[in-house]
Structure 1
Amino acid sequence: MQQILQFGKRTIPFSVQESSNRKTLSISVEDGQVMVTIPTGTEEKTYRQILHKKAPWVLKQLAEFEEMSTATRRILQFRSGEKLPYLGRYYRLKVQQEKIVAPKFRFFKGQFEASLPEQVSTAEHRDHLYPLYRDWIIQKGKTFADKRITRFTQRLGEVPSNLTIRSMEKRWGSCTRNRHILLNWHIFLAPVSMVDYVLAHELAHLKEMNHTPEYWNTLRMLLPDYEERKEWLRINGSQLYV
């Protein structure tokens, strides 16, 4: 249920979600969206008063998200000699144009290699190679995450029903009600420590779906320095959208 709170000259859109399992109200800001989770039966006047009191904190979280979203991005052109990121490292791209029908893309001996049809212009390199690069990252990222996840599930005592890597516009990851973990493929361009952070962040939701004190305690148990990693991603996250 979408609502609006007026705080001075600022308008704060927010959603309300009722939960019969909750005894207290919680407010979370994720990917520029404000969610108020309330115990079933909570009066509108009550949760609006609490949200109004927390408005300065909410606005700060929204401003930080906006800062990350609008930061200058480095757009790859996929030209020969350019370097492409994977797991925090950069690997040189070698492009050759040949008498072929379809583009080819692979990682071989420490560098990316691509072949393009002879008629493809330099300006069209990105159109042809970006999808192949994305698919390569998704494939390799899935294998990497499947191996990496065990270090957390063993301590957590919980396992997800599935793990999928895909394109996500506004999230680094999510955990569904049926325990399905989804990860944004761009996170695999970041250092391994950031992949671990997003994995742990979503896995902690297997214990607690909302960002309650219990949730943050669970995440801290998995990653004692999660706040530092979260801050790195806030500042540098937009640079991963290449």
Structure 2
Amino acid sequence: MNSIQFGNKIIYYTLKESNNRKTLSISVNQSGINVVSPPNVSIDKIEDILFKKGPWIIKQLSDFQEMQETSKLKSFVSGEKLPYLGRHYRLKIMKTNQSTPTLHFHKGRFYGEVHHSCSEEEYRTLLRPLYIEWVKRKADTFTKDRLKPFTLKLKKEPTSVMIKDQEQRWGSCTSEGRLLLNWRIFLAPASIVDYVIAHELAHLVHLNHSKEYWDTVRMLLPDYEDRKEWLRLKGSTLDV
């Protein structure tokens, strides 16, 4: 394991040589920094490149740390933050005499109401389904607005849009033209939601993953590869 110092931070990285590389590759993920170098590149040169990339590397590491901290399964207790479209909003729990729990969002904060006899161990069971329903409602309106620029470019529209609980997929498009989106994707930033929408809309033209299909995705979102990579690296954190 190698390391380099940025200010008062010591950053560790793994280094591997590859005969297939002509330039230095730097990637950041949950495990840390991985560097793949062409043969015979000196450590001094590698670390000089890493130092110049320092602000970007630190930002990537910070993003991963925030995602890991905020993506732990929630207990739905006061003070926790609940995600929506890449932002995180504080939850406040209030005890009431009402037998039915409620959850609402007001001025940048979630408010949950539970019966005064409920223990904290019960909060997740009571409030998580209400939170998911809230996300689905918001996501339905958000998606309909977000579709417009894509359908204008594609000159095709889905027959319907549904926000669902899909364990294995971020989205799907049926042969009948129905767009199905996983509610969890709406915990990610809007740019990542756009990628999933574009990915599924392209199936209105190509029900496969051919070169023509990916050309269609690129037409809708020229930088789709960056968004696809974000989802590959951080998608596992999108849950509560």
CA distance in 2, matches of 1:167, 1:179: 19
Q: Which amino acid aligns with 2:102?
A: K
Alignment of 1:77-96 (within 5 A): 77-96=75-94
Identify the match of residue 228 of structure 1 among 226, 229, 239.
226
The Cα shift of 1:110 comes to 1.1
Report what 2:158 is aligned to.
Answer: 160
Q: Which amino acid aligns with 1:237?
A: G
CA distance in 2, matches of 1:114, 1:100: 12
The Cα shift of 1:229 comes to 0.4
The Cα shift of 1:206 comes to 0.4
The Cα shift of 1:151 comes to 1.1
Q: Which amino acid aligns with 2:180?
A: L
Report what 1:98 is aligned to.
Answer: 96
Alignment of 1:69-218 (within 5 A): 74-218=72-216
CA distance in 1, matches of 2:239, 2:112: 21
* DSSP-derived class of the 1:215 partner: helix
* DSSP-derived class of the 2:207 partner: coil
Residue ranges of structure 2 left out of the alignment (5+ in a row): 1-67
Identity percentage of aligned residues = 52
* DSSP-derived class of the 2:158 partner: coil
CA distance in 2, matches of 1:80, 1:203: 39
Q: Which amino acid aligns with 1:234?
A: R
Report what 1:11 is aligned to.
Answer: none
Cα distance per residue 1:166-215 (max 9 Å; x no partner) = 10010000000100000000000000001000000000000100001110
Q: Which amino acid aligns with 1:114?
A: G
CA distance in 1, matches of 2:160, 2:105: 27
Q: Which amino acid aligns with 1:159?
A: E
Q: Which amino acid aligns with 1:116?
A: V
* DSSP-derived class of the 2:118 partner: coil
Report what 1:33 is aligned to.
Answer: none
Report what 1:23 is aligned to.
Answer: none
* DSSP-derived class of the 1:149 partner: helix
Q: Where does structure 1 differ by over 6 angstroms across 4 or more consecutive aligned residues?
A: none
Report what 1:45 is aligned to.
Answer: none
* DSSP-derived class of the 2:89 partner: strand
Q: Which amino acid aligns with 2:223?
A: D
CA RMSD of aligned residues (A): 1.2
Q: Which amino acid aligns with 1:168?
A: Q
The Cα shift of 1:241 comes to 1.6
The Cα shift of 1:119 comes to 1.2
Q: Which amino acid aligns with 1:236?
A: K
Report what 2:20 is aligned to.
Answer: none
Report what 2:57 is aligned to.
Answer: none
Residue ranges of structure 1 left out of the alignment (5+ in a row): 1-70
CA distance in 2, matches of 1:241, 1:91: 14
Report what 2:39 is aligned to.
Answer: none
CA distance in 2, matches of 1:200, 1:140: 19
CA distance in 2, matches of 1:117, 1:207: 51
CA distance in 1, matches of 2:213, 2:226: 17
Aligned residues: 172
The Cα shift of 1:86 comes to 0.5
CA distance in 2, matches of 1:186, 1:151: 23
